[in-house]
Amino acid sequence: MTRIRIKGFKIFRDRHGKMRCYHRATRMKVDLAETPIGSAEFLVACERIAAATSARKELTPKAGTLGKLIEHYKETDHFRNLADATKRDYRACADYLAPIGQTPVHMLTTPLISGIHDKAARKLGWRRGNYVLTFMRQVFKFSRPHGLIDHNPAEGVIPKRRPRDAGYANRPWTVQEERIVLKSASPALRVALALMANTGLDPSDAIGLRRDAIFDTTIYGLRGKTGREIAVPVSQRLQSALTASPPHTAITVLASSNGKPWTYDGLASAFHRLKRKLEDAGEIANGLTMKGLRHTVATTLREAGKSERDIADLLGQSTTSMAGHYSRSANLAAKNRTTILALDEANEKRTNIVKPFKTSVKPNGIST
């Protein structure tokens, strides 16, 4: 078979024997099912991607433009020290703003930023629209001290309110949903979800958890988003899940099916595929997210009578009004041991009092 080579593109066969093709610079994929390798459609698709990349290079931001402010912000220590998930979201906001990157700084007025915010909310939804606004505020805030802009035109823009008919973002999981998902998940995905369900760790923190972070049956570390210390005792439920997990040699506690540390996108994709399969089968209701397990932990503990301060300490949350409650990890471990025991006992009660049954989903999305 003749081997096809296209400058700037990688054409290869993946580990499943399937042919793949993507643009090296942008990582944009070519759909070989729609445009078979060597066909005229394939060559046109590659040429279109290459042309778009060239056009993007020509739009390199000039000094004194919005695009240049964004570039400057990405080079600040503030951006570099953000959690990986936040960086990923901010980069998505930067990509959204790229088409207007040549807008001169003197034209960046509050009414203009408000209009950009309105358009983003209509196109991306109110939540993502607000995120674009937050990103612009950060860009302008860290540009002012360097004399790149003399004011923050995004400060006066009002964020969009949550629509009344908007669903519960990251809603807690029901007992049945947790049981069904864990039972249906692959071994590598199951232990990842079990870790989040029994500690309240954020997905990004869970996949980054190193083996040496567990010492004397306690998980020590820093929460990626806030940088606050966490000390979470390993419950019996979690220990059972870890013991039953597939063996691997990765430096992290969790690993994918190939034995390597999970990436966020890889874990999210694996969970999404399973969730879609279970939703289509009518076994779970719509709206489950991995971060919803963090909400499940908080909700379960509140129902068990634990205080908001206890829950916040376990989850690594902090507020200025509660700054006096900060303590070192060693002290947190002792304090959180009773909290994690309450979670373990509450989960045991929930499991025992609810009889297993197959979940069906009505047309309105409510499980019965």
pLDDT in tens, 175-229: 999 999 999 999 999 999 999 999 999 999 999 999 999 998 999 988 877 778 8
Residues 6+ apart with CB under 8 A from 22: 9, 10, 28, 29, 30
Identity of the residue numbered 126: W
Exposed e or buried b per residue across 35-64, where buried means at least 16 C-beta atoms within 10 angstroms of its C-beta: bebeeeebeebbeebbeebeeeeeeebeee
Task: Using the predicted structure, report yes or no on whether residue 357 has a pLDDT greater than 70.
Answer: no
Q: What is residue 329's predicted lDDT score, i.e. its pLDDT?
A: 38
Among 202, 311, 223, 214, smallest CA distance to 267 is for 202
pLDDT tens per residue, range 295-343: 899 888 888 888 888 888 888 876 533 322 222 334 566 667 888 888 8
- Annotate 162-192 with DSSP letters as a single string: PPTT---TTPPPPHHHHHHHHHHS-HHHHHH
| pLDDT recorded at residue 220 | 92
Q: Find, among 358, 359, 312, 318, the residue nearest to 336 by Cα.
A: 312
Residue 13: pLDDT above 80?
Answer: yes
Q: Please report, rounded to a whole number, the percentage of residues in the chain having pLDDT higher than 70.
A: 88
Residue 356 has a pLDDT of: 53
Q: Work out the mean pLDDT of the chain and round it to a whole number.
A: 85
Asked if 63 and 49 touch (Cβ cutoff 8 Å), the reply is no
CB burial class (10 A; 0-12, 13-18, 19+) of residue 160?
middle
Confidence of residue 41 (pLDDT cuts 50, 70, 90): confident
- Residues 231, 236, 237, 240, Cα dihedral to 10°: 110
38 or 318: whose pLDDT is higher? Answer: 38
pLDDT computed for residue 300 by the predictor: 87
Rounded CA gap, 325 and 311, in Å?
12
Q: What is the pLDDT of residue 76?
A: 95
pLDDT over 90, % of the chain: 52
What does the alpha-carbon distance between residue 283 and residue 235 come to, in Å, rounded to a whole number? Answer: 28
Residues 6 or more apart from 173 whose CB is under 8 A from it?
Answer: 181, 197, 288, 292, 293, 296
Q: List pLDDT tens digits, range 22-37.
A: 988 778 889 898 888 8
> Partners of 181 in the beta sheet?
none
Q: What is the pLDDT of residues 46-58, one digit of tens each?
A: 988 888 776 555 5
Count of Cβ atoms closer than 10 Å to residue 227 Cβ: 11
- Would you state the pLDDT for residue 335? 66
Helix and strand counts by DSSP (H, E) for the chain = 14, 5
pLDDT band at 360 (very low <50, low <70, confident <90, very high): low
Give the model confidence (pLDDT) of 69-99 as tens digits: 999 999 999 999 888 888 989 999 999 999 8
Instruction: Express each pLDDT in 109-166 by its tens digit.
Output: 999 999 999 999 999 999 899 999 999 999 999 999 999 999 999 999 999 998 877 6
